[in-house]
Structure 1
C-alpha cells in the first residue's frame, strides 16, 4: 500500500498549484503548516491511474456470438458473478486483442463510408447525419464496428479488503456496461458524463481481477463526430470506509477574502463516528495562508456536510493575465489519525453581467472574445492527451480569445484545468436539457465536479432546443434545472444558447440570454427583457479553408477571405463589428475555434469529412482569419498579408490582396511598385485588387508615421525541402505527454510552397512514437493513426508521444521523396509519475 506523510501531501498539493511547462520538473516551494503534526500521520487515500495495459476488440451489435456472447440468452443474466459474457471470464484468452492505453477512440481507425442510404436533407445546409458525423463507418448500418470491448486484468493486496475501492471513468462513449469479476456493476448511457463504480464487495485479493467495459456507439448523442470508447482517463481510488465524497469539497471565496468550505463525508461503517476536518489553504507558491478546523458527528451508514468559514488575507485574484489559484488540502481525521485526504483547487474572482454595460471580470469591463469547440483533433479523434488540451487552449489564448464554450457537452476535467491555469474563461454546458431523473443526475454531476474551477463563468442548460425552448413545457423543465444549479452553486449565472423564441418560453429561467445568431432579434428581445444581459453564445459560423482562395465546389473548398457564411450566419467582420459597437452586449463566441470532424458546411456531402467553421483547422494551423481576430482581440502589433503569390496561368488577372492589421496604415507594393496606402479602420480589414505578375507582394505597416512591420509573399519555386519544428524542446517520459510537430515544405530559396501536397514520412529514433498525423484537409481520407501524411497547402502535423518510463534523446525526421529532410532533436525527461496500476 502506498502511504503518504502529511508533509508529503502538502508538498504534493504545492506541486499541483504551480503551473509548470510540460517539459520540466520543478521542486515547489513549501511552507510548514501553521500547526505542527506528527510526521507519521498517515493518509490512506490512493488514486491510481488505470490508463495503461488494456486490451481492445470490436464486438458486434447484432450477432451475439461475435459480441463475445453478451446477452446470449436470459440465463446470461440469471446469476451474477458468472459468465455474463465470455470476455468477462478470468480464463478468457485476450491475446489476439489489440493492446491499447487510454485515452482511446476506436472510431478514428474505422474506414470512411459514403452511407448512401441516408435521405438527402430538404435544406442542403443541414447536411445528412452521415456527413454530420464525418462519414465514419459506425452506427446502425455498421453493427460490426459499433461495439467496443475493453479488458484489463490486475491484482490487489490483502490490505485492500479493509478499504473502500472505486473505479472512476472520466468518460466513455457511449452506452457503457461495466463488468467486474463477472458482476455487471452498472449500465451508463451518457457519452460525456463521468461514472464511478464501487468494487469494494467484488474484489479478489487472492488472485486476478478482471475489469471489462463494453461500449456501444450504435446511437449517438450529437450531430457531429463523437468517436467511441474509453476516451478519457480511468482511476482506481482506495479510501478508508469513512471518506470524503467524490467532488465533496466545495470552496467559495469572494474578492473581500470571505472564505467558506463545505466538505461532504460519508461513514460507510456500522458505528457512529466523531470526525474532524482540517482544511489547509495554500497559495500558488505553496505557502499556507490559512487553516480551518471543524468537527462533526456522522451516524453509521450516513453522510454529513461540515461547513467552515474563514478569511483569505490578502487576496490574490484569478484573472486572465494572472490566473492565480489556491489549493485546499482537506484532511478527515478520527481523533489524531488522518483517515482520508483530498486536494482541491480554486480561484477568487468576481464575475458580473450587466444588461446595459456588458461583462465585468473583477470589476473590469471587457468583451467576451470567445470560441466554441468540440472535443476532437486531427490524429487522435476525441482521445485527446492532456498536454494537447493545454496546447489547444494556448493557441486561442495567443490569438486573444478569453472564453471557451464547451459545446455541447461536459468537457474533460483536464480541459478545465488548462483554462484555469492559462487564464481562459469557460461556459460549461450540460448535454441534455431535461428534468428527467437521469438528466438532472447528469447536471448535478457536472456542477459538483466543476464548481471549484475559477475559469467557469456561466452554466449552460441547453443548446438550440427548438422543440421546447419556446414552450411552457420547456420553461417547467428549465426551472427545475435552474433550481438544481442554484442549490449546488448559487453564485454563477445560468444561460442557455437559444436560436429562436428569445424572450419567450424558457427565458424566465435564465440569468443571461444566450443568442445563437439571429442578431436582428436582439433589439426586440431587449424591449421584452431590458434588464437581462446578453451574450452571443454562437456567432459567425463563417467558413473558410486554410490556404484556399478560390471556391471549389468539386473539391469542397471555401475561400479564406472571410466572404462566406451560411444563410443564418455572419462573417467574422460582420458579427464582431456589431457586437463590439454595442456596450450592452457582453461579447460573443465564434463558431468555432478549431475545425472539427463532421458538419462539413457549406457542402455537406461526400467526400468532405470535417467542418470549415474553424479559425484554425483540425490540426490547429491558423487560417488567415486567425489574424483578423488577433488584430482586434489583443494589443500586440499585428500585420498579416495574404494570399500567397503563386498564381501560375493567371498572369495579368486581378488578385484580391488582403491585410489584417491593427496598425495605423498599411502600404502594399507589387514587385517594388506601390499599389497605394490605406488607413486601418477599427475592426475592419484592408483590401487591394492588383494584377498578378510573378515576383512578390510586400506590405509595410505604419504606426505614428513610421514603418514598424514588414511582410512579404514571394512566388515560390519547386518544392526542395521539408522543415520540422516542435512546440517544445523536451517532454515528460510518462507515456502521456505529447509534442506537436509541424512539417512545412519550402523551395530552394526558403520560400514556403503554398500548394505543396508532398507525402511526408515521420521517422522516430528514441523512446517515443507518432500517435497521430493530420494536415487540415477537410476532404482527406488518409489514416490518422499513421506515420506519414500528405501535406495540405504546404503543411502537415504529427503528434509525438514518449514511452512510459523511458527517458532519453528522441530524434524525429520528416522526409519526402526527392526533398531535403527536416529534423528535430528532443529530450524525454524523467518526471515523478502518478501512482498507477
Structure 2
C-alpha cells in the first residue's frame, strides 16, 4: 500500500510540474523537456516540448532564407524543501547558437555555440516557490561564431534535451567545460595487461573544509568488480581539488573493437568517511584498445590492420529539423552498424550524447569536429570561440572509447577571400594557418592519446601552399571526382598523388558521394541526373579504389542520410541527396551496395526492388517490356527467377549483378538464389502499348518527361513518369527540337533550379527546346491532356554553390519566348509567354479534355512567335 501511495504522489508531482528529489547516489537528475512555452521575438506564445526548433518548416518552403533570430523559451520550476541546501544545475545538451539563461528574470549564464552542451548553476537565483526559467536562443548570423557558411541548415532552437541536476555541496565539478568532471585514460594497454588513470575534479561548495574519500571501481560487462582504488582527500571550503588515481592491475583485458565492443564501467564515488554514505557518484564507459595510423599500411586497431569504412552524419531528420528524438538518433548508429560500417565521422559539429554512447556500445570508431567550415573571420573573438568549442568538445566526450580522432576544420579554403588582392589574401591564409596550428596544439595538449585531423577539399595545391597538410597528424580529403568535378576515375589518381607527394602523412577520404534522389531512375545514368543508378556506379569506383590501396586508412561516405541544406535547389530543393539513406532513413540501393561490400556474412539483395512501381513501353508487339534489374551480393554468382522462370546465372561484378527482365503488365514476382541465400520482391508494372492499336495492351494513361532520359516516381500522387522518345507512327513522341542543356557549362543534364509551386521539380527541370509538335496516335475516344511548362532560363541570379569545383557559371542570356500552342488545329494557349505570364522557374500545368474522332489522334502544335517553344512534360489519360 505504501508503494502504491508513493507512486501516486510521484504521478501528482509530475502532473503539476512539482519536482521531488529522492536521494540517489548523492545526486538526482530529471528531464525538463515538458511544459515549455515558446515564442519568436515579438511573436505569439505556443506550448512546446523539447527538443524543439522553430525552423522545421520554413527551411523547406519556396521562399529564400529562414528565420534566424531570437526565440524565447519559458518554464516554471517548482522545487520542494528537500532541494534547499543542495547545488542545483541546468544541463543544456544543445541550444542554437547564442544562449542566455535567466532564472526569475536574472541572467544566470550565457553560452556560445550550437553544438556543445553547457551546465548552468542556478541555486543563487532560486526562491523555491514559483521559479521561472527562461532561455533566450538566437541563431542569427554572427561573424564571430562558427559556422559562418556551410552546406547544411543552421536550425535555431532549444533542440536537445534539458536536464535538472541536483547535487550535494561536495560534488564532481560541473565547471569543467560541460563535462562530468572525470577524465579517464588508459596509459598502457596490451592483450595481457592494462592500466587506467582516473582524474577527478571535485568542488566543495560548502562553507567548511571537507574530508572525503574518492573510490573508483572498475566493473566488467557482467557487473563483476575488476579493480578499485580509494583515495582520502581534504577539500578546502569553496575550493576545488583534482584527484588522480592510477589503477595498474587489470589482467587480460577484454579488448574493445568493432567486432567485440566490450565495455567496462568505471564508477567513481565521493564517500563520507564517517557515515560511509555516498555524497556523489558518476559512471563512465571504459574500453581497452590501442591504435595507430601508418602512412604506408593504413590503420591498425589492437595491432590488427583495419580498413576504416563508414559514413559522416548530420543530425537532422525528416520534417523535424535538428530536433530529433533520442530513439531516432540511436537508430542512425544501428543502421550504420547494420550496413557493415565501422566508422562514424561526426560532422560537421559535435552531436547529441546519445550518438557516441551508441558508438561505444555498438563498436563504431569515431571522429568528432567543431564547425569551422568553408571560411573564417580574422578576429580575436572568432579565434577564442573556436578554441573554446574545441576544448568543450574534447572534455565533454573525453571518455568515449569509440573516439580515436579530434578534428577542427573542414574545407576551410573552399570560399577564398580577397581573390583580387593577393597580398591581402596572403594575410588571410596566414590567419587560417595560425588558427589551425592553435587548434591542433590545443588538441594535442588536451588529449595526447588521440590523433588530430584537418579536412581539405580536393584543391591539392592550395592546401599544400598554405601549409595545412603539414599541421595535423592525419590529413582528410573530401573528394568528389565524377560529381563536383572531373570523372570518377580521377579519384584513384588523387589517392596515389597523396601517397607519392606526402609519403609520411596518413590520410583518409573524409567525404565522397553523388546525389541519388530515390525518386529518380535511369537506364543510362550520367553525372548530375540524380539517379540512383549513377550513385551505384560512383560508389563502386570509390570503394574499389580505397579497398585496393593499403595506404588509404579509410573513407567515410557523404552522407549516412540525406539532410537539410536550405540554400540547395536541384531535384529535391533544400535537401542534399547524397545520403545512403533518405532523410526519413529509408535505405537506398547504395546502402545495399555497402552491405554487399562490407558485411562478413553471406548477403544477397534485389536492390531494384526499391523501384517497386515501374512503367515502360512494350517491346515491339510483345506483351513484355524489357528493363534491367540489379542485385547486390557478396556471393560469386546467383540465379534470377521471374514469375517462376529462370533468367539464368550471372556472376557478380563489383558486388552487382544485372539481368534484363521481360516485365509483364501487372504483378511480377522476382526471386534470386545463391546457395542457401535468397531474396524476393514483387514489382508492379504498368505496360504501355508499343502502338496504340494493340488490343492486347489497352491504353489507360501515360506520363512523359520531355528532354529526359530518366524515370521519375511521384509517390504522393502515385504517378510514374517515363522518358520521352522521338515520334513513332502509331505510337507517340516529339517532333523537332533538342533537350534543354542550360547556359552554364557545368550542368549537362536539365536544370538544377528550384521550380516554384510544386514538389515534383524533376517533372519541370527538363524540357524539349524548339519543339514543333507532339503526337499521340490514339484511337477515337475521350481523353484528358495536360501540358507542363516552366521557363528555365532567367530569373533571379543566385550565387553558385561553392562546392561545384569546375563551375563555369555564366550569366544566363534571357531571350523573349512567345509561342502559340494548338491542339488538333484549334488554338489552346495563344501567345504563351511563360516568364511574363507566370514567372521564371514556376510550375505551369494546363489541362484540357479532347474528343478524338475520325482516326485523327492528338496533335499538339507549337508555333514560334519569338524565341523557341518549349514543353517540359505531357500527360495523357483515357477517360472512355
Answer whether TM exceeds 0.5 for this pair. Answer: yes
Query: How far is the alpha carbon of 1:185 from its aligned partner?
Result: 2.2
Question: Residue 679 in 1 paired to residue 651 in 2?
Answer: yes
Deviation at 1:113, TM superposition (A): 3.5
Hey, what's the Cα distance between the residues in 1 that align with 2:71 and 2:516? 35
- The answer on whether the counterparts of 2:523 and 2:628 sit within 8 Å (CA) in structure 1 is no
The correspondence for 2:602, drawn from 637, 646, 656, is: 637
> Who is 2:390 aligned against?
443
SS in 1 for 2:563: coil
Aligned counterparts of 1:226 and 1:476: Cα–Cα separation in 2:
26
Q: Give the 3-state SS of the residue equivalent to 2:95 in structure 1.
A: coil
CA deviation map 1:706-749 (0-9, x unaligned) = 5742535443589xxxxxxxxxxxxxxxxxxxxxxxxxxxxxxx
Question: Which secondary structure does the structure 1 equivalent of 2:520 belong to?
Answer: coil
1:474 aligns with 2:432: yes
The residue number in structure 2 matching 1:298 is 235
Contact 1:163/1:238 (8 A) holds in 2? yes
Cα deviation for residue 630 of structure 1 reads: 0.6
Matched, 1:250 2:183: yes
Tell me which of the two structures has the higher relative contact order, counting C-alpha pairs closer than 8 angstroms and 6 or more residues apart.
1
In 1, distance between residues paired with 2:389 and 2:544? 38
C-alpha RMSD over aligned residues: 3.3
SS at structure 1 position matched to 2:385: helix
Cα distance in 2 between the residues matched to 1:417 and 1:102: 20
Give the C-alpha shift of residue 552 in structure 1. 13
Q: Distance in 1 between matches of 2:24 and 2:588?
A: 53
1:323 aligns with 2:261: yes
Q: CA deviation at 1:458?
A: 1.0
In the alignment, which of 121, 135, 146 is matched to residue 213 of structure 1?
135
What's the CA shift string for 1:16-51, capped at 9, x where partnerless? Answer: xxxxxxxxxxxxxxxxxxxxxxxx998432222211
The TM-score, its normalising length taken from structure 2, stands at: 0.65
Mapping of residues 702-721 of structure 1, within 5 Å = 702=674, 706=675, 708-715=677-684
Residues 609 and 779 of structure 1 are in contact (CA less than 8 Å); yes or no, is this contact kept in structure 2? no
1:531 corresponds to which of 504, 521, 524: 504
CA contact under 8 A between 1:409 and 1:430: conserved in structure 2? Answer: yes
The residue aligned with 2:617 is 650
Correspondence list, 1:155-554, <5 A: 155-205=78-128, 207-219=129-141, 221=147, 222-246=150-174, 247-253=180-186, 254-255=189-190, 256-310=193-247, 311-337=249-275, 338-432=278-372, 436-466=383-413, 471-499=429-457, 500-501=459-460, 502-504=463-465, 505-517=467-479, 519=491, 520-539=493-512, 541-550=513-522
Q: Deviations over 1:674-727 (max 9, x none)?
A: 55533223x34233445654364745443xxx5742535443589xxxxxxxxx
- 1-side partners of 2:307 and 2:285: how far apart? 27
For structure 1, the residue ranges without an aligned partner over 5 or more in a row are 1-39, 60-65, 68-95, 117-129, 131-136, 140-145, 565-569, 719-752, 760-776, 783-837
Report if the CA contact (8 A) 1:611-1:778 is conserved.
no
Equivalent residue number for residue 633 of structure 2 = 661
Q: Please state whether the residue corresponding to 1:392 is helix, strand or coil.
A: helix
Distance 1:57 1:686, change over 3 A: same
Q: CA separation of 1:576/1:347 partners in 2, compared to 1, >3 Å: closer, same or farther? A: same
Q: Residues of 2 paired with 1:509 and 1:485: CA distance?
A: 12
Q: Distance in 2 between matches of 1:697 and 1:430?
A: 49
Aligned-residue offset at 1:261: 0.7
Q: Which has the larger radius of gyration?
A: 2
Q: Contact 2:218/2:226 (CA < 8 Å) preserved in 1? A: yes
- Partner in structure 1 of residue 799 of structure 2: none
Q: Deviations over 1:375-403 (max 9, x none)?
A: 01114221111111221211121111111
1:591 to 543, 558, 566: 558
Distance 1:677 1:194 in 2: 55
What is the rounded CA distance, in whole Å, between the counterparts of 1:529 and 1:550 in structure 2?
Answer: 40
C-alpha change, 1:242 and 1:628, in structure 2 (3 Å) is same
Distance 1:349 1:417, change over 3 A: same
Q: Give how far 1:622 is off.
A: 0.8
Tell me how far 1:202 sits from its aligned partner: 0.9
The alpha-carbon deviation at position 559 of structure 1 amounts to: 1.6
- Which residue in 2 is equivalent to 1:749? none
Indicate how the Cα distance of structure 1 residues 188 and 674 shifts in structure 2: closer, same or farther if over 3 A, else same: same
CA distance in 2, matches of 1:646, 1:249: 55
Kindly state the Cα deviation for residue 109 of structure 1 after the two structures are TM-superposed.
Answer: 4.1
d(CA) in 2 for partners of 1:323, 1:779: 49
Please state how far the C-alpha of 1:440 moved relative to its aligned partner: 1.3
Q: 1:106 to 1:551 in 2, by over 3 A?
A: farther
Count of residues in correspondence between the two structures: 618
Gaps of 5+ in 2: 1-21, 175-179, 377-381, 418-425, 481-490, 620-624, 688-711, 719-753, 760-880
Q: Secondary structure of 1:414's match?
A: helix
Change (3 A) 1:160 1:707: closer
Task: Provide the C-alpha distance between the structure 2 equivalents of 1:217 and 1:478, rounded to a whole number of angstroms.
Answer: 25
Offset, 1:779? 11
Match of 2:61 among 105, 113, 118: 113
Structure-2 separation of matches of 1:512 and 1:424: 19
Counterpart position of 1:621? 586
Q: Does the C-alpha gap of structure 1 residues 336 and 530 become closer, same or farther in structure 2, counting only changes over 3 Å?
A: farther
Q: Deviations over 1:509-531 (max 9, x none)?
A: 21111111164433333234322
Q: How has the CA–CA distance of structure 1 residues 188 and 552 changed in structure 2, closer, same or farther, with 3 Å as cutoff?
A: farther
Say which SS state the counterpart of residue 359 (structure 2) adopts. helix
- Classify the secondary structure of the residue corresponding to 1:257: strand
Decide whether the 8 Å contact of 1:550 with 1:558 is kept in 2.
no
Contact kept in structure 2, 1:551 and 1:559, CA below 8 Å: no
Q: CA deviation at 1:758?
A: 6.2
Aligned to 1:48: 30
Please tell me whether the aligned partners of residues 71 and 138 of structure 2 are also in contact (alpha carbons under 8 angstroms).
yes
User: Against the structure 1 CA distance between its residues 690 and 173, is the aligned structure 2 distance closer, same or farther, given a 3 Å change threshold?
Assistant: same
2:554, 2:758 → 1: CA distance?
37
- SS of the aligned residue for 2:260 comes to coil
TM-superposition CA deviations, 1:581-622 (whole Å, max 9, x none): 101111100001111122686xx2486231211111111111
Q: Is the 8 A contact 2:293 2:553 kept in 1?
A: yes
Distance 2:206 2:105 in 1: 26
